[in-house]
C-alpha cells in the first residue's frame, strides 16, 4: 500500500501550486499544505508540519515524572486535561500505584467535560470555516461555563495540571458534582439548537455530505482513531476496549456511523456531546462523596520497564510510550497524538476533491497543531 | 493496579494477551512485521525511536481490532548502522512515525517512500533526541556510547517473557499465551512473586486450598488474603470457562 | 436560547470583572441593552433620512431663489444642471449615510444574536464606529501593486461604487421624490447591476495576483449568472403592472402589493439580490476563510472603502428596489381603502410635505425589515460552495423565474 511519492509531479496534469499557508484564517494552527490544483480538482496535497515543534520529548527526558505533567497540557491545548491522563495511567501501571475510586470518578468526569470543551471548539471553528459566524460565539460562550468548572477545580482553564499519579492533585470543591449537574442540564437544553444550526442545516449538509469519504480499511491501516474512524464504521473506542479510570463501571455504547464523510464525522461529534453528558451524569450519580483523592504508592519504576498506554481523547487515540531506566524521570516518553496520525490521511482525502472542499475536509479532521508538532 | 472487574478480566484473557517481540536483526524485524500483519494486527498505534545509549531502538506498538490484542515489536541497531527496514508499506499509519523517528532519533528506514524530516527543517543537521545532545541541541563532550548488552541480560519487562524471534510461528503469534502471561493478566505486579512461590499457572492458583491463602499472601507481601482469594476465584472461573 | 447572562449593566461601556458574578436566570439583560440601541439607531436613520429628503424636496425651491437659474418660475438650463449636480451629491450622501448606518446596525445586530455587545466605544453606544472605520481607511497608505495596471486598478472600485449609486437615482422615496423619474427605470436598475459585475472583474484582473484573479473570476461568474433571475423577476413586475416607470409601479400597488400575485418572482428576486450583494450564503468571492482571499485582496485604504460602501449601499438599495416593486413602495399597507397620507394632504401645503414624510417612513420601515432579513441570514447561514451557487442559479432560480414570468402573463391576461 505504498503511496507514490508526494513530491513527484503528477503526469499529464497542468497544476498550479498553491500554499494553504501556515497562517490560516481557519483556525487550526500553523499547518502548511502545498496543494497542486488542476482547474478545480486537487491533484497533490503535501502537508508540512513542525511549525509548532517544541521538542517536548527531549525536555521531558530531563525532568522528573511530576515535572512532566505540566508539559503535557501544552500538547493539545484545546482540551487540557486529556493529555495528562495517558502518562499518568502508564506511570501508575508501571509503578503499581493504586488509584482510589473517588479519584477515578473525578478524573473521568473531568475527562468527559474536556471532551465537551474540545468538541465545542471544533464546532465553532468548523462553522467559522464554512462561513457561519454565530455558532462560534455560542460555542465559546457555553465553553466558558464548562471552563469555569474546570478552573474552580484545577486552577487553570487551558493548562490545568491537575491529574497526577494515583489520582488528582488537590481535592474538588464541595459543589463540584452540583456544578457538573447544572452545566450538563443546561447544555443538554441548548444542544438541539447547535444541531439545528450545524448538522441539520441544509447548507451545511450541502457542503459536507459525500465530501471526504474515508474508507474504513484505509482508516484502520493508517492508524486513524477517534471520531474519524468511528464515522467510517469501525467501532473502536478505547473507553470500551481498554477501559481505564471509571469507565468499566459506566454504561455507554460506542457510537458509529457508516457513511465516512464529513457530515458523518460532524454528526458523530454532536452525538458524542450527548454521550459525554450521559457519562458525566453517571459519574455524578455513582461517585463516592467521601474517600481519598490521591492514592498511595511509591513512584519507583525499575529500569527497563516500558509501557504503551493510550486513552480515547476527543480527537482519537492519545497514547504515551514510556520507557524507564530507573531514574526519577522518564528515559523516553513518546507521545502518540491522534492529530499527528490522523493528518497522515490528508493526501488521501484531499486528492481528487474539489478545491473548495479542502477547507471542509480539513475542518472535519479536527486537528490541533499543538499535539501534531508537540 | 486499577481495579478491574471480573467481566473485564475474563474479556481480557479470552481476547488475548499483550506480547512483546524482540527482533534480533533487521531482517528478523521485517519478517516479524510481515508475520504480525498476516496474523491480523491491522491497527498501528505507535512507532517510537529510542536512543538506548548503546545504540538506537525502534519500538512498534500494534493492535488487532478484532480482539483488541496488543503487540510490541522492537529492534536494536548500533549507532554506526542505524538502518531499519520500513514497515510503512504494511501499515500506512507508520509513515509519519518513521519520519519522526528519523528526524528526532536518527533511525534510517530503508524503503520509506518519503524519507525526509518532518518536524524540523529539511536541512537540520542533528537528531536532537539522541543522548549525545543536551536539551539545547549542543553536543555533550563527555558523552560516550555504552557497550552493547549481551543477549542474556535483556531488559525485564512486565509483559510476557521475550521469545526467540525465529521461533515465532503465526499460530503462536495469534494465541501468544503462556501460563505466566495468563497469571500476569490477573495481576502483573504479583505474577513474578507468585511464580517465585511456586504458583506458575492458573491451574495451580485455582487449586489453592483455603489454608494456604494467608501464608501465600504474607509471603508475597499482601496484608490480607482477600486479593489472593479473588485471583483464585477468577482462575477457577476461567478454568471452567476455558 | 442563548445562555442566561450576567446582571444588567449599570454603565457603559465595559463591565467590570465578569468572572465571579452569579448568573441571573431569566431574560438576558445584554440583549435588552442591544435591542434598545438598535431601535435608537433605526430612529436615527429615519431622522437623517428625513432631513436629507427634506433638503431634497426643498432643493428646486432653493435653486429658484437664485435669479440666474430661474426663468419664469421654472428652472433654466443652467438651473437644471445645478439641480442635477446638487441632487446627485444628495444621492451620494443618502447612500453613504445609509451604508454607514447599515454597517453599524449589522454589527450591532450580529452582536445581539451572538450575545455580545458590538461596537461600544466610539460615540454614544458605538454610533460613530463606522465613522472611525472610515477615518481609518482614509489614513491608510494608498498604494498600487507594482505590476498592476494603475488606471484600471483605480477605476474598478469606482465602477462598483457608481453602479450602486445609479440604483439610487430611480427609486421613489415618496410621491414625487425621485431623482430621475424616467420611463425606463427598471432597465436602469438591471443595467446598473451589470456595470457592477464588470467592475468586480476588472478589480480581480488588475490586481496582478493569481488569487485575486481567481476570486474576481468567481465573483464575476456569480454576479453575471444571478443577473438573469434578477432581471427576469423584475420584468415580471413590469409585465404585471404594464409599465417600466417605477413611480407608476408604486402607484399601481396602492391597494394590493405586487408581492401577492407575484410571490414566486419575489422569492427569486430576494435570493438573486443576496447573490448580487455578495452576502452570505453567497459570499464566496470575498470569504476570508477560503483559500483565495477574493477580488479585493490588493485593495487597501479608501479603495477598499469604495467596495465596502458599495456593498452596504447595495444592502440598502436592493431591498429598497424590492420594496418599490413588490411591497408597495411608499404606500402604507392597504392604502387603497384608507390612507392616512390623504388625511395629511387634506391639511394644505405643509400637509403635502407631511404626507410625503409619512410615505418615506413606510418606505424606510419596509426597507429596514428586508435589510434585517438579509442580516438575519448573514448571522445564521454558512456559505455555499461556488458550484452549488451556480447550480442553484441555473438549475433552480432561472426556471423558477421563468415560471414566475408565465404566471405574471397569465394573471395579467386574466385580471386585466
Task: Determine which of B96, B137, B162 to mutate to test the interface with A (most A C-beta atoms within 10 Å).
Answer: B96
| B34 and B135 share one domain | yes
Q: Which residues, 6+ apart, have CB-to-CB distance to A259 below 8 Å? A: A209, A213, A231
Of B153, B175, B197, the one marking the end of a domain is B175
| B101 and B187 share one domain | no
Q: Note whether A201 contacts C291, CB cutoff 8 Å.
A: no
Under a CB-based contact definition with an 8 Å cutoff, are residues A297 and A96 in contact?
Answer: yes
Of B175, B201, B220, the one marking the end of a domain is B175
| B147 and B214 share one domain | no
Of B175, B192, B214, the one marking the end of a domain is B175
pLDDT value for C7: 52
Instruction: Give the C-alpha separation, A213 to A365, whole Å.
Output: 11
| A137–chain B nearest CA distance, Å | 33
How high does pLDDT run on average in chain C? 81
Beta strands in chain A (DSSP E): 16-20, 32-38, 41-48, 163-164, 167-168, 303-313, 316-325, 332-336
Average pLDDT, stretch C182-205?
A: 87
Helices C302-326 and C210-241 pack at an angle, to 10 degrees, of 20
pLDDT value for A267: 94
| B201 and B104 share one domain | no
| B143 and B64 share one domain | yes
Under a CB-based contact definition with an 8 Å cutoff, are residues C42 and C129 in contact?
Answer: no
How high does pLDDT run on average in chain A? 88
- Closest chain B residue to A60, measured at CA: B135
Average pLDDT, stretch A79-100?
A: 90
Cβ-based contacts of C387 with chain A (< 8 Å):
40, 354, 356
Cβ-based contacts of C287 with chain A (< 8 Å):
131
Q: How confident is the model at residue B15 (pLDDT cuts 50, 70, 90)?
A: very low
- Is there a domain that residue A45 lies in? no
Say how many C-beta atoms besides its own lie within 10 A of residue A33's C-beta: 24
Count of structural domains within chain B: 2
Read off the pLDDT of residues A138-195 as tens digits, 9 standing for 90 and up.
Answer: 888 889 889 988 988 888 888 988 999 989 988 888 889 998 999 999 898 889 988 9
Chains that touch C (3 or more CB pairs under 8 A): A
| A43–chain C nearest CA distance, Å | 16
| B91–chain A nearest CA distance, Å | 5
Residue B73: its H or E element = strand B69-77
Cβ-based contacts of A295 with chain B (< 8 Å):
none
Q: How far is CA A148 from CA A153, A273, B152, C67, in A?
A: 9, 18, 55, 74
Residue B5 has pLDDT above 50, yes or no: no
Average pLDDT, stretch A309-333?
A: 92
Average pLDDT, stretch A187-211?
A: 89
| B37 and B107 share one domain | yes
- Closest chain B residue to A62, measured at CA: B135
- Is there a domain that residue A257 lies in? yes
Kindly provide the ipTM of the predicted complex, given to two decimals. 0.90
Task: Determine which of B89, B119, B187 to mutate to test the interface with A (most A C-beta atoms within 10 Å).
Answer: B119
Residue C58 has pLDDT above 70, yes or no: yes
Read off the pLDDT of residues C307-340 as tens digits, 9 standing for 90 and up.
Answer: 888 888 889 899 999 999 999 888 888 777 788 8
- Is there a domain that residue B118 lies in? yes
Instruction: Give the C-alpha separation, B59 to C389, whole Å.
Output: 51
3-class DSSP state of B127:
coil
Under a CB-based contact definition with an 8 Å cutoff, are residues A119 and A269 in contact?
Answer: yes
Average pLDDT, stretch A95-123?
A: 93
- Closest chain A residue to B49, measured at CA: A334
> How many Å from the N-terminal Cα to the C-terminal Cα in chain B?
25
CATH of the domain at B102: 3.30.460.80
Percentage of chain A modeled with pLDDT above 70:
96
Counting Cβ atoms within 10 Å, is residue B115 exposed (0-12), middle (13-18) or buried (19+)? middle
Cβ-based contacts of B4 with chain A (< 8 Å):
248
- Is there a domain that residue A310 lies in? yes
| B157 and B193 share one domain | no
Percentage of chain C modeled with pLDDT above 70:
88
Counting Cβ atoms within 10 Å, is residue C123 exposed (0-12), middle (13-18) or buried (19+)? middle
Read off the pLDDT of residues B74-86 as tens digits, 9 standing for 90 and up.
Answer: 888 999 989 999 9
| B44 and B158 share one domain | yes
Cβ-based contacts of B107 with chain A (< 8 Å):
none
Chains that touch A (3 or more CB pairs under 8 A): B, C
CATH of the domain at A257: 1.10.645.10
Q: How confident is the model at residue A285 (pLDDT cuts 50, 70, 90)?
A: very high
Q: Is A17 on the interface with C (CB under 8 A)?
A: no
| B29 and B106 share one domain | yes
Q: How confident is the model at residue B192 (pLDDT cuts 50, 70, 90)?
A: low
pLDDT, greater one: B43 or C278: B43
Q: Note whether C114 contacts A137, CB cutoff 8 Å.
A: yes
- Is there a domain that residue B13 lies in? no
CA angle centred on C113, ends C109 and C115, rounded to 5° = 110
| A360–chain C nearest CA distance, Å | 10
| B43 and B142 share one domain | yes
Residue C361: all three cell numbers together: 417612513
| B88 and B201 share one domain | no
Cβ-based contacts of C382 with chain A (< 8 Å):
127, 130-132, 201, 203-204, 207
Name the residue facing B128 among A50, A55, A317 (closest C-beta): A55
Average pLDDT, stretch B34-51?
A: 89
Count of structural domains within chain A: 1
Residue bearing cell 531482517? B27
Cβ-based contacts of C378 with chain A (< 8 Å):
133
- Length reported for chain A: 374
Q: Which residues, 6+ apart, have CB-to-CB distance to A356 below 8 Å? A: A40, C284, C290, C385, C386, C387
Instruction: Give the C-alpha separation, A67 to A329, whole Å.
Output: 8
What sections of C114-209 are H helices per DSSP? 129-138, 150-169, 185-206
Residue A41: all three cell numbers together: 480538482
- Closest chain A residue to B72, measured at CA: A308
pLDDT value for C12: 41
- Is there a domain that residue B2 lies in? no
Q: How confident is the model at residue C174 (pLDDT cuts 50, 70, 90)?
A: confident
Read off the pLDDT of residues B137-177 as tens digits, 9 standing for 90 and up.
Answer: 888 889 888 888 775 434 433 333 333 333 333 333 333 34
Name the residue facing C3 among A18, A129, A142 (closest C-beta): A142
Q: Note whether B92 contacts A221, CB cutoff 8 Å.
A: yes
| B206–chain A nearest CA distance, Å | 24
Distance of CA C282 to the CA centre of its chain: 16
- Is there a domain that residue B3 lies in? no
Q: How far is CA A108 from CA A156, A186, A230, A257, in A?
A: 18, 20, 21, 25
Q: How far is CA C354 from CA C54, C175, C327, C365, in A?
A: 10, 11, 21, 16
What sections of C296-348 are H helices per DSSP? 302-326, 340-345
pLDDT value for C288: 57
| C192–chain A nearest CA distance, Å | 28
Task: Determine which of B14, B63, B123, B136 to mutate to test the interface with A (most A C-beta atoms within 10 Å).
Answer: B63
Q: State yes or no: cis peptide before C281, omega within 30 of 0.
A: yes
Under a CB-based contact definition with an 8 Å cutoff, are residues A143 and A121 in contact?
Answer: yes
- Is there a domain that residue B32 lies in? yes
Instruction: Give the C-alpha separation, A372 to C95, whole Å.
Output: 50
Domain containing residue A201? 55-373
This prediction's pTM: 0.81
Domain containing residue B219? 179-241
Residue A118 has pLDDT above 80, yes or no: yes
| A327–chain B nearest CA distance, Å | 14
Question: In sequence order, what are the beta bridge partners of B50?
Answer: B57
| B90 and B195 share one domain | no
**Which of C312, C314, C334, C331 lies closest to C323, judged by CA?**
C331
Name the residue facing A5 among B70, B113, B158 (closest C-beta): B113
Residue B14 has pLDDT above 50, yes or no: no
Question: In sequence order, what are the beta bridge partners of C70?
Answer: C75
Average pLDDT, stretch A322-340?
A: 91
Residue C90: all three cell numbers together: 444628495
Read off the pLDDT of residues B199-212 as tens digits, 9 standing for 90 and up.
Answer: 666 666 777 777 77
Inspect the structure and tell me whether chains C and B have 3 or more CB pairs less than 8 Å apart: no
Amino acid at each position: 500500500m505504498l503511496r507514490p511519492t508526494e513530491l513527484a509531479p503528477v503526469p499529464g496534469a497542468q497544476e498550479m501550486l498553491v500554499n494553504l499557508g501556515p497562517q490560516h484564517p481557519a483556525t487550526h494552527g500553523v499547518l502548511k499544505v502545498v496543494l497542486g490544483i488542476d482547474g478545480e480538482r486537487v491533484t497533490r496535497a503535501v502537508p508540512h508540519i513542525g511549525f509548532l515543534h517544541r521538542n517536548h520529548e527531549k525536555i521531558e527526558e530531563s525532568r522528573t515524572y511530576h515535572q512532566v505533567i505540566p508539559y503535557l497540557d501544552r500538547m493539545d491545548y484545546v482540551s487540557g486535561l486529556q493529555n495528562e491522563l495517558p502518562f499518568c495511567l502508564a506511570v501508575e501501571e508501571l509503578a503499581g500505584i493504586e488509584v482510589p475510586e473517588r479519584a477515578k470518578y473525578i478524573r473521568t468526569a473531568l475527562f468527559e467535560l474536556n471532551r465537551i470543551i474540545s468538541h465545542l471548539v471544533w464546532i465553532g471553528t468548523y462553522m467559522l470555516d464554512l462561513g457561519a459566524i454565530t455558532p462560534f460565539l455560542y460555542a465559546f460562550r457555553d465553553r466558558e461555563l464548562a471552563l469555569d468548572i474546570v478552573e474552580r477545580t484545577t486552577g487553570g482553564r487551558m493548562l490545568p495540571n491537575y491529574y497526577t499519579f494515583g489520582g488528582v492533585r488537590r481535592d474538588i470543591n464541595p459543589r463540584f458534582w452540583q456544578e457538573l449537574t447544572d452545566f450538563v442540564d443546561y447544555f443538554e437544553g441548548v444542544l438541539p439548537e447547535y444541531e439545528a444550526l450545524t448538522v441539520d442545516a441544509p447548507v451545511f449538509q450541502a457542503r459536507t455530505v459525500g465530501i471526504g469519504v474515508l474508507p474504513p480499511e484505509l482508516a484502520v491501516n493508517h492508524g486513524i482513531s477517534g471520531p474519524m474512524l468511528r464515522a467510517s464504521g469501525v467501532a473502536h473506542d478505547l473507553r470500551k476496549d481498554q477501559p481505564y479510570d471509571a469507565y468499566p463501571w459506566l454504561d455507554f455504547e460506542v457510537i458509529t456511523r457508516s457513511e465516512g464523510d464529513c457530515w458523518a464525522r460532524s454528526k458523530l461529534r454532536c452525538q458524542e456531546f450527548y454521550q459525554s453528558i450521559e457519562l458525566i451524569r453517571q459519574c455524578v450519580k455513582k461517585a463516592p462523596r467521601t474517600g481519598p483523592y490521591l492514592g498511595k504508592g511509591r513512584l519507583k519504576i525499575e529500569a527497563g520497564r516500558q509501557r504503551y498506554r493510550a486513552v480515547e481523547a476527543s480527537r482519537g487515540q492519545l497514547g504515551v510510550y514510556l520507557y524507564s531506566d530507573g531514574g526519577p524521570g522518564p528515559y523516553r516518553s513518546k507521545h502518540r497524538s491522534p492529530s499527528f496520525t490522523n493528518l497522515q490521511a490528508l493526501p488521501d482525502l484531499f486528492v481528487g476533491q474539489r478545491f473548495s472542499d479542502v477547507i471542509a475536509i480539513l475542518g472535519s479532521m479536527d486537528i490541533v497543531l499543538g499535539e501534531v508538532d508537540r | 493496579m486499577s481495579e478491574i472487574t471480573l467481566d473485564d478480566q475474563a474479556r481480557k484473557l479470552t481476547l488475548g494477551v499483550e506480547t512483546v517481540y524482540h527482533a534480533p536483526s533487521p531482517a528478523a524485524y521485517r519478517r516479524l512485521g510481515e508475520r504480525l500483519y498476516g496474523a491480523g494486527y491491522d491497527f498501528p498505534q505507535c512507532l517510537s525511536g529510542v536512543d538506548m545509549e548503546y545504540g538506537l531502538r525502534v519500538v512498534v506498538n500494534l493492535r488487532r481490532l478484532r480482539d483488541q490484542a496488543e503487540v510490541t515489536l522492537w529492534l536494536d541497531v548500533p549507532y554506526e548502522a542505524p538502518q531499519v527496514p520500513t514497515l510503512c508499506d504494511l501499515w500506512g499509519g507508520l509513515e509519519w512515525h518513521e519520519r519522526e523517528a528519523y528526524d528526532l532519533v536518527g533511525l534510517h528506514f530503508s524503503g520509506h517512500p518519503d524519507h525526509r524530516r518532518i518536524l524540523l527543517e529539511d536541512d537540520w543537521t542533528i537528531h536532537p533526541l539522541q543522548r549525545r545532545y543536551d536539551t539545547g541541541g549542543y553536543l555533550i563532550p563527555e558523552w560516550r556510547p555504552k557497550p552493547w548488552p549481551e543477549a542474556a541480560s535483556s531488559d525485564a519487562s512486565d509483559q510476557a517473557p521475550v521469545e526467540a524471534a525465529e521461533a515465532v510461528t503465526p499460530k503462536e503469534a495469534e494465541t501468544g499465551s503462556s501460563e505466566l502471561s495468563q497469571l500476569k493478566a490477573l495481576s502483573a505486579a504479583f505474577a513474578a512473586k507468585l511464580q517465585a512461590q511456586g504458583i506458575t499457572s492458573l491451574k495451580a492458583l485455582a487449586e489453592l486450598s483455603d489454608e494456604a491463602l494467608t501464608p501465600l499472601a504474607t509471603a508475597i507481601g499482601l496484608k490480607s488474603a482477600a486479593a489472593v482469594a479473588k485471583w483464585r476465584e477468577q482462575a477457577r472461573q476461567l478454568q471452567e470457562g476455558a | 436560547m442563548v445562555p442566561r447572562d450576567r446582571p444588567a449593566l449599570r454603565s457603559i461601556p465595559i463591565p467590570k470583572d465578569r468572572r465571579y458574578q452569579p448568573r441571573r436566570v431569566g431574560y438576558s439583560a445584554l440583549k435588552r441593552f442591544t435591542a434598545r440601541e438598535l431601535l435608537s439607531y433605526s430612529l436615527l436613520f429615519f431622522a437623517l433620512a428625513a432631513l436629507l429628503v427634506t433638503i431634497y424636496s426643498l432643493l428646486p425651491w432653493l435653486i429658484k431663489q437664485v435669479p440666474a437659474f430661474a426663468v419664469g418660475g421654472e428652472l433654466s438650463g443652467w438651473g437644471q444642471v445645478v439641480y442635477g449636480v446638487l441632487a446627485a451629491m444628495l444621492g451620494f450622501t443618502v447612500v453613504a449615510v445609509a451604508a454607514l448606518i447599515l454597517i453599524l446596525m449589522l454589527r450591532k445586530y450580529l452582536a445581539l444574536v451572538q450575545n455580545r455587545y458590538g461596537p461600544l466605544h466610539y460615540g454614544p453606544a458605538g454610533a460613530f464606529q463606522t465613522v472611525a472605520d472610515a477615518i481609518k481607511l482614509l489614513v491608510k497608505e494608498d498604494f498600487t501593486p507594482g505590476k498592476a495596471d494603475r488606471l484600471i486598478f483605480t477605476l474598478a472600485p469606482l465602477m462598483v461604487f457608481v453602479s450602486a449609486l445609479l440604483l439610487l437615482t430611480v427609486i421613489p422615496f415618496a410621491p414625487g421624490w425621485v431623482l430621475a423619474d424616467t420611463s425606463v427605470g427598471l432597465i436602469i436598475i438591471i443595467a446598473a447591476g451589470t456595470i457592477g459585475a464588470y467592475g468586480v472583474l476588472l478589480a480581480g484582473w488588475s490586481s496582478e495576483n493569481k488569487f485575486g484573479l481567481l476570486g474576481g473570476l468567481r465573483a464575476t461568474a456569480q454576479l453575471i449568472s444571478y443577473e438573469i433571475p434578477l432581471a427576469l423577476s423584475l420584468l415580471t413586475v413590469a409585465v404585471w403592472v404594464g409599465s417600466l416607470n417605477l413611480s407608476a409601479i408604486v402607484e399601481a400597488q396602492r391597494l394590493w402589493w405586487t408581492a401577492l400575485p407575484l410571490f414566486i418572482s419575489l422569492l427569486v428576486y430576494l435570493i438573486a439580490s443576496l447573490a448580487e450583494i455578495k452576502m452570505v450564503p453567497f459570499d464566496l468571492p470575498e470569504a476570508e476563510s477560503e483559500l483565495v482571499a477574493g477580488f479585493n485582496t490588493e485593495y487597501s485604504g479608501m479603495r477598499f472603502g469604495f467596495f465596502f460602501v458599495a456593498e452596504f449601499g447595495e444592502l440598502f438599495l436592493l431591498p429598497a428596489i424590492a420594496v418599490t416593486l413588490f411591497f408597495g413602495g411608499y404606500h402604507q399597507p392597504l392604502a387603497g381603502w384608507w390612507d392616512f397620507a390623504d388625511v395629511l394632504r387634506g391639511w394644505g401645503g405643509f400637509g403635502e410635505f407631511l404626507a410625503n414624510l409619512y410615505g418615506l417612513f413606510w418606505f424606510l420601515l419596509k426597507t429596514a425589515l428586508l435589510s434585517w432579513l438579509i442580516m438575519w441570514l448573514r448571522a445564521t447561514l454558512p456559505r455555499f460552495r461556488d458550484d452549488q451557487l451556480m447550480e442553484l442559479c441555473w438549475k433552480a432560480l432561472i426556471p423558477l423565474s421563468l415560471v414566475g414570468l408565465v404566471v405574471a402573463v397569465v394573471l395579467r391576461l386574466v385580471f386585466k
